[in-house]
């Protein structure tokens, strides 16, 4: 991957200082003009970071990087080849240090988003609003970790005035590292759910891990929180200013009121501080009541950053969902809702409304094809069963795919769903699962596909 380091580049001596490494070079004033972690796409003059991952070791690709034209290598051990290199203890940490220093060269407004669910949707809503006034850089795809975030920052140049980045995690300490790299001006915590409870043990611990986002913020930073989540109320954020958004809690700074359902989404008004000011008729073009929270975060960011009300509304209405997130497609005589990018108990339950909305338009059965939710640990059976209870009344046919997903079926049965409306399938191969599901579908069905990312349930959908 090639990422520019501005027109003038950065000397490898300066890079060694920033990444806290030791430079070995006969020409310490050589200039790097780009950053690469992929030897296949490296360009002449890039500095190559030999990142060690779970399935690969970048040090094995140093010869290919040299062939591709790298000017210097950042490594955890000395390369055998004759190439300038910077020796560091941890190449991933070094990548983050350089990204932070690079970001500091620009006066870019930075908004960071984390939370158990809704991170990507909220990030995209904020991007759509901010980009109406400021040229805005954003996290692409799943670049929300200790490698992806630096690569997002390296895309900056002098033309960008704002940036919105997504921060994911699965354990304590990860958000703190990301916040230290991005140093956000504004941060958003969308909600606290059950994702990664296997690693963290409780929702309270998940909240504490998400709150690490304030660790890298500036003292005058603003933290936007979901005030309808009890675990986020009355928390100590030090000098960071808290702003609460909500629907149910009237004590929030910003409340969505006068909520009306439309053909494709919602209309709502934003009540600022109990009537001090009301923004009327904010319209979303995306289904699901949960998206009102995501849109509210973007509206508040826009207001805080001086974006005119008309442009904020245009940004909300112009939001475009990311692929595999509530993506509606026609397949022969059925309508498919592909929501396979990820899944948690909370997002599974929220998807019931979307299934019902789309099916109401089409007039057919509501069919839910649900796969496993991962990283739930000892809570897995209980939380899968909880999802089943939501679909007992929210679906006309429930099809579960995978070993743990059978507990979704069990929960639905325990909540009164007739056995003939439940099918539990194995998942030995996508082809067999697709064949089995195809036999159960009727003309006019609306079919929701949802599971954790690693299940890749969209592969099944595309074979039907």
What CATH number should be reported for the domain holding residue 360? 3.90.190.20
- pLDDT on residue 332: 85
Quickly state the pLDDT bin for 6 (edges 50, 70, 90): low
Does residue 195 form part of some domain? yes
Q: Pairing between strand 254-261 and 334-339?
A: unpaired
**93 lies in a domain?**
no
Q: What is the predicted pLDDT for the residue at 3?
A: 60
Find the largest Cα–Cα distance for the chain: 76
Number of domains in the chain: 3
Q: Which of 73, 91, 79, 87 is nearest to 22 (CA)?
A: 87
Of 294, 317, 340, which one is at a domain's C-terminal end? 317
Range of the domain at 41: 3-88
280 by DSSP, 3-state: which?
strand
Residue for token pair 């354990």: 171
pLDDT in tens, 91-130: 999 999 999 999 999 999 999 999 999 999 999 999 999 9
**Dihedral angle computed from the Cα positions of residues 97, 102, 107 and 113, in that order, rounded to the nearest 10 degrees:** -50
Instruction: State yes or no: pLDDT of 56 exceeds 60.
Output: yes
In a shared domain, residues 23 and 76: yes
Over 60: is that where the pLDDT of 296 sits?
A: yes
Q: Among the listed ranges 8-12, 333-337, 392-396, which one has the minimum average pLDDT value?
A: 8-12
**Domain annotation covers residue 94:** no
Q: Average pLDDT, stretch 247-270? A: 96
Ranges 149-158, 159-168, 320-329, 356-365: which has the least confidence: 320-329
Q: Is residue 360 part of a domain?
A: yes
273/164 same-domain check:
yes
What CATH number should be reported for the domain holding residue 235? 3.40.1190.10
Confidence of residue 1 (pLDDT cuts 50, 70, 90): very low
Whether 243 and 117 map to the same domain: the answer is yes
What is the average pLDDT score of the chain?
95
- Statement to judge: residues 69 and 187 lie in one domain: no
Task: Report if residue 100 sits inside a domain.
Answer: no
Last residue of a domain, one of 290, 317, 344: 317
The residue-averaged pLDDT of 73-91 equals 97
User: SS3 for 163?
Assistant: strand
- Answer whether residue 174 shows pLDDT above 90: yes
Q: Indicate whether 313 and 338 sit together in one domain.
A: no
Domain finish residue from 56, 88, 120: 88
Q: What is the pTM of this model?
A: 0.94
Same domain for 268 and 358? no
Specify the pLDDT at position 33. 93
Domain annotation covers residue 97: no
- Residue 98 counted as domain residue: no
- For residue 99, being part of any structural domain is answered with no
* Closest C-alpha to 298, from 287, 310, 284, 312: 312
Whether residues 374 and 444 share a domain: the answer is yes
Residues 40 and 153 in one domain: no
CA-to-CA distance for 430 and 19, rounded, in angstroms?
Answer: 45
Do residues 373 and 441 both lie within one domain? yes
pLDDT tens digits for 370-401? 999 999 999 999 999 999 999 999 999 999 99
Do 122 and 192 lie in one domain? The reply is yes
> Does residue 353 have a pLDDT over 90?
yes
pLDDT-based confidence at 275, cuts 50/70/90?
confident
With cut-offs at 50, 70 and 90, classify the pLDDT of residue 330.
Answer: very high
Residues 371, 424, single domain; the answer is: yes
- Domain harbouring 81, CATH code: 3.40.1390.10
129 plus 263 within the same structural domain: yes
Is residue 2 pLDDT above 60, yes or no?
A: no
């Amino acid at each position: 991957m090639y990422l520019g380091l501005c027109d003038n580049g950065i000397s490898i001596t300066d890079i060694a200082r920033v990444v806290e490494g030791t430079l070995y070079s006969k020409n310490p004033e050589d200039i790097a003009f780009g950053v690469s972690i992929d030897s296949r796409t490296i360009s002449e003059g890039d500095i190559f970071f030999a990142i060690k991952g779970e399935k690969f070791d970048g040090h094995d690709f140093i010869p290919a990087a040299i062939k591709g034209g790298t000017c210097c290598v950042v490594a955890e051990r000395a390369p055998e080849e004759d190439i300038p290199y910077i020796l560091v203890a941890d190449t991933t940490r070094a990548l983050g240090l350089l990204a932070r220093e690079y970001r500091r060269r620009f006066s870019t407004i930075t908004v960071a988003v984390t939370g158990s669910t809704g991170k990507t949707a909220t990030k995209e809503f904020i991007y759509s609003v901010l980009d109406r006034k400021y040229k805005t850089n954003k996290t692409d795809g799943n670049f929300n970790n200790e490698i992806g975030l630096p690569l997002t920052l390296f895309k900056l140049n002098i033309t960008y005035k704002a940036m919105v980045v997504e921060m994911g995690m699965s354990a304590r300490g990860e958000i703190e590292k990301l916040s230290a790299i991005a140093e956000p001006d504004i941060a958003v915590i969308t909600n606290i759910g059950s994702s990664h409870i296997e690693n963290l043990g409780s929702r309270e611990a998940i909240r504490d891990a998400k709150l690490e986002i304030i660790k890298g913020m500036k003292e005058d930073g603003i933290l936007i929180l979901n005030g309808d989540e009890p675990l986020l109320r009355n928390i100590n954020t030090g000098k960071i200013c808290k702003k609460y958004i909500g629907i149910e809690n009237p004590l929030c700074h910003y409340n969505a009121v006068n909520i009306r359902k439309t053909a494709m989404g919602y209309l709502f008004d934003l009540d600022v501080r109990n009537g001090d000011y009301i923004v009327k008729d904010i319209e979303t073009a995306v289904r699901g009541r949960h998206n009102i929270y995501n849109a509210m975060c973007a509206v508040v960011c826009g207001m805080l950053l001086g974006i005119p009300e008309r442009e904020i509304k245009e940004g909300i209405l112009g939001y475009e969902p990311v692929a595999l997130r509530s993506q509606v497609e026609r397949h022969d005589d059925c309508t498919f809702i592909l929501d396979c990018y990820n899944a948690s108990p909370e997002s599974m339950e929220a998807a019931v409304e979307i299934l019902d909305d789309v099916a109401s338009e089409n007039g057919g059965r509501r069919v839910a094809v649900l796969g496993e939710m991962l990283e739930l640990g000892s809570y897995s059976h209980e939380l899968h069963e909880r999802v089943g209870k939501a679909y007992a009344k929210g679906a006309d046919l429930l099809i579960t795919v995978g070993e743990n997903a059978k507990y979704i079926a069990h929960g639905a049965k325990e909540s009164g769903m007739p056995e003939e409306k439940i099918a539990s399938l194995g998942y030995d191969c996508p082809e067999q699962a697709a064949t089995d599901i195809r036999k159960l579908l009727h003309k006019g069905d609306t079919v929701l596909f949802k599971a954790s990312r690693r299940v890749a349930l969209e592969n099944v959908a595309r074979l039907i």
